[in-house]
Amino acid sequence: MKQYVIDGLRPQDYNRLQDYLDQYTNAAGIVGVYWLELEHTLLTPLQAEHESCFPHVVALKLENTCLTCEFLVRTKKHIRCDCMAYANREQRNWLIDQMDAILEKLAIRI
């Protein structure tokens, strides 16, 4: 799995991230796993065409000392679909920018 990992979290960082993710993302039904919805403008033509698959999301996994962000763009509605794929450059950069903005907003210095 291709991932972006932010490690070296301290207990207070974990708590702030957990509170933030609980408030601003969707829980995936597994403890510590969250769905972050991609902005519609970032979808590939195939993803945008698959309206029945909306929303397209990436998984975030928060653990005690790290936050792992998967680069797999998936749909919450289907287990498999042609529109699921690894993030393209624009989607990947957006995800990294989102994580950087969250860390900055929460004053988490890694």
Residue located via tokens 């975030």: 60
Task: Determine the average pLDDT of the residues in 90-103.
Answer: 97
Question: Which contacts (CB < 8 Å, 24+ apart) does range 96-103 have?
Answer: 96/4, 96/69, 98/36, 99/4, 99/6, 99/67, 99/69, 102/17, 102/20, 103/6
Q: How confident is the model at residue 79 (pLDDT cuts 50, 70, 90)?
A: confident
How high is the mean pLDDT of the chain?
Answer: 96
Residue located via tokens 């945008």: 48
